């Protein structure tokens, strides 16, 4: 069998990609190829009559012309694109797009299903707004739960915060029935349960050589290409330049860095095994001595509900962190259940009340003595209920502080999305011909669709929580069964449609970048900014020195806007992660 050397394989791959690109662009490349340089030469030689324009669309002598109207461009130059140039495409693609596509592999996945992992990639690429929203919510939740438990003084409070925060990427289920949760919080037999689960959840998806190399590659490639685009001959390939593409994808860098810093626990198999192993040593109160919970039933106080067949809660079971938006509200309710138990136990412990009434309080420092934490089913149940002197309002179906956290996460997500997308739009908007053209419209469409997907899926998660939350009565207001059915159906429709749009948007933005590098957009219609200028559209075929200066200023502004937005988002994550835990 004949074998190929590395050089031969590289050459074959290059020719293959060239053939594919030329085949895709064959109709416009062969039949309708356009040469704007020759077209401008014809204008300056008076072959087309007095049709010359300057770079702002004013009439000028043909000899000094740098532009023509859109109608003249179509009739004189043709409607096709400039010829595909492999040297330009390969350079722009490898410099501006390929590093970002490689960085996608550093996103945390974790689902035990390749299709779900692919879906999470498409969801992230199709809606950076949603990805940034889930990341910000995760950071805010970690800080909220640390503050929520900060005033509680009872054994295992610190471990409870660590465990609940680590389980944000899983379908957490808390069962309060049969004193399961109360027993887990109070009984000294369960101290080992808390310690073991913390230990088994103490694994990281964090910095590695691969992650550092990918991030370094992206940063260095971005900096080098930005410098090169400012110092090189930008007129030679002005419409295939990747300045806008680089800014457009810059959102991915703070997202990847943020998840690496948070180190989400998103391996579904490992999470499930950790909780199951811990639950084998969980104890529950009985009429006499505490016994292993496994001897009473299969229910546990804290478990992961991967077997839920409710279609409305499908996204909660996918452990990829991008789905944290879907787990936010049920996770908050689960945390509140645990918080209530620790709050009551902490209050009674502070008052030196033993679990079993009448038992003498044994002073053992800050930690209650083992004998003061023992009791039967009624004792344990009462100990974890708020004392009569403590007035506690009825719980909301949404949870405390959820609106403020959602609003803050939304603001940061939109800032990152439109800071980077807006920077890309600025770059191509101020590239002659100035105005809304094919490239800027494509970028705006990407940002709009990303935002729409985020709105649809967050709304779907709210409707899902509304229709599945138990019990169906809060603050003496019953929830209408009709409203539940409508909310359920609408949540499913929004979720499916949102994911479909996200997948299309992910494909759309990659195709858009490929079109830009392959000169597909380098045609009269796109270069004339017809979307924005309408009947006054014109095509600048040779930017002047003033145009180049203005273009460089706009490009610098775009780089600063995108970079500044990424720095602000990364700074926020670094400011809020790793909050101080309870003593």
Per-chain mean pLDDT for the chain: 85
Task: Look at residue 321 and tell me if it is in a domain.
Answer: yes
pLDDT tens digits for range 500-559: 999 999 999 999 988 888 888 888 998 898 988 988 999 998 888 888 888 888 888 988
pLDDT tens-digit map of 224-236: 777 776 676 666 6
CA distance 582 to 181: 20
- Has residue 568 been placed in a domain? no
Same-domain status, 437 and 373: no
* Residue 486: burial class (beta carbons within 10 Å; 0-12, 13-18, 19+): middle
Is 333 contained in some domain?
yes
Structural element, H or E, at residue 525 = helix 524-527
- The predicted model gives 102-115 an average pLDDT of 82
Residue 527 falls inside a structural domain: yes
Q: Which among 494, 552, 520, 477 is positioned nearest to 27, based on CA atoms?
A: 520
pLDDT in tens, 288-330: 889 999 988 889 999 998 887 788 888 888 889 999 999 999 9
Q: Which helix (H) or strand (E) holds 457?
A: helix 438-468
576 in any annotated domain:
no
Q: Tell me, yes or no, whether 239 and 301 share the same domain.
A: no
Average pLDDT over residues 16-31: 44
Does 465 fall in a domain?
yes
What local confidence, expressed as pLDDT, does residue 97 receive? 84
Residue-level pLDDT at 478: 64
pLDDT tens digit sequence for 457-466 = 999 999 999 8
Verify that 236 and 356 share a domain, yes or no. Answer: no
In a domain, 582, yes or no: no
Q: Are residues 144 and 174 in the same domain?
A: yes
Distance in angstroms (rounded) separating the CA atoms of residues 471 and 205 = 37
Same-domain status, 417 and 434: yes
Do residues 363 and 293 share a domain? yes
In the predicted model, is pLDDT for residue 112 greater than 80?
Answer: no
Give me the number of domains the chain comprises. Answer: 3
Return d(Cα 432, Cα 529) in angstroms, integer: 9
Domain boundary among 383, 398, 431: 383
Same domain, 444 and 536: yes
If we measure between CA atoms, which residue out of 341, 458, 329, 343 comes closest to residue 399? 329
- Domain co-membership, 521 together with 427: yes
**Domain-located, residue 404:** no
pLDDT in tens, 120-167: 999 999 999 999 999 999 999 999 999 999 999 999 999 999 999 999
* 341/443 same-domain check: no
User: Is the same domain home to 366 and 439?
Assistant: no
Q: What pLDDT does 389 receive?
A: 63
Full domain range(s) for residue 70: 17-82
Confidence of residue 242 (pLDDT cuts 50, 70, 90): low
Residues 257 and 270 in one domain: no
190 and 276 within one domain = yes
């Amino acid at each position: 069998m004949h074998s190929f050397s590395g050089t031969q394989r590289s050459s074959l791959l290059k020719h293959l990609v060239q053939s594919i690109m030329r085949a895709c662009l064959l109709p416009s490349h062969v039949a309708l190829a356009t040469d704007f340089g020759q077209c401008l030469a014809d204008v300056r030689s008076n072959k087309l009559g007095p049709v010359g324009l300057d770079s702002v669309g004013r009439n000028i002598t043909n000899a000094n012309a740098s532009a023509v109207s859109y109608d003249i461009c179509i009739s004189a130059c043709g409607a096709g694109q400039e010829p595909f140039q492999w040297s330009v495409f390969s350079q722009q693609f490898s410099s501006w797009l390929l590093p970002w596509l490689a960085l996608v592999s550093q996103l945390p996945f974790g689902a035990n299903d390749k299709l779900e992992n692919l879906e999470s990639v498409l969801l992230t690429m199709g809606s950076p707004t949603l990805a940034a929203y889930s990341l910000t919510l995760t950071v805010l939740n970690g800080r909220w739960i640390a503050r929520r438990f900060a005033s509680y003084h009872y054994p295992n409070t610190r471990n409870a915060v660590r465990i609940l925060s680590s389980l944000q990427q899983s379908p957490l289920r808390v069962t309060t029935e049969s004193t399961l949760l109360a027993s887990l919080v109070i009984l000294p037999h369960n101290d080992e349960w808390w310690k073991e689960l913390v230990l088994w959840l103490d694994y990281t998806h964090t910095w590695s050589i691969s992650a550092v190399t990918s991030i370094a590659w992206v940063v260095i490639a971005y900096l080098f290409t930005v410098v090169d685009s400012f110092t090189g001959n930008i007129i030679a390939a002005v419409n295939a330049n990747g300045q806008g593409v680089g800014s457009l994808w810059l959102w991915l860098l703070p997202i990847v860095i943020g998840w690496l810093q948070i180190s989400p626990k998103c391996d579904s198999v490992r999470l499930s095994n950790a909780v199951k192993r811990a639950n084998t040593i969980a104890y529950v109160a009985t009429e006499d001595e505490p016994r292993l919970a496994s001897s009473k039933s299969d229910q546990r106080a804290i478990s992961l509900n991967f077997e839920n067949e409710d279609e409305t809660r499908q996204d909660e079971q996918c452990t990829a962190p991008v789905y944290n938006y879907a787990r936010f509200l049920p996770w908050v309710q689960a945390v509140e259940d645990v918080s209530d138990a620790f709050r009551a136990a902490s209050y009674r412990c502070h008052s030196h009340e033993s679990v079993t009434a009448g038992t003498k309080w044994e002073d053992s420092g800050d930690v209650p003595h083992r004998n003061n934490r023992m009791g039967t089913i009624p004792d344990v149940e009462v100990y974890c209920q708020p004392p009569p002197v403590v007035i506690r309002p009825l719980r909301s179906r949404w949870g405390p502080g959820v609106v403020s956290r959602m609003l803050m996460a939304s603001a940061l997500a939109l800032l990152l999305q439109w800071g980077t997308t807006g920077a890309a739009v600025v770059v191509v908007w101020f590239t002659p011909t100035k105005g809304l053209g094919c490239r800027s419209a494509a970028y705006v469409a990407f940002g709009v669709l990303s935002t729409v997907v985020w709105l649809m899926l967050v709304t779907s998660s709210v409707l899902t929580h509304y229709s599945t939350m138990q019990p169906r009565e809060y603050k003496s207001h019953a929830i209408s069964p009709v409203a539940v059915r409508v909310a359920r159906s609408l949540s499913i429709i929004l979720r499916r449609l949102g994911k479909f749009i996200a997948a299309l948007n992910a494909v759309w933005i990659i195709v858009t970048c490929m079109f830009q590098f392959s000169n597909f957009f380098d045609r009269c219609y796109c270069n004339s900014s017809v979307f924005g200028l309408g009947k006054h559209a014109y095509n600048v075929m040779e930017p002047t020195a003033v145009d180049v200066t203005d273009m460089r200023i706009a490009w610098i502004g775009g780089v600063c806007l995108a970079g500044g937005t990424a720095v602000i988002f990364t700074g926020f994550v670094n400011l809020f992660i790793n909050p101080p835990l309870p003593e």
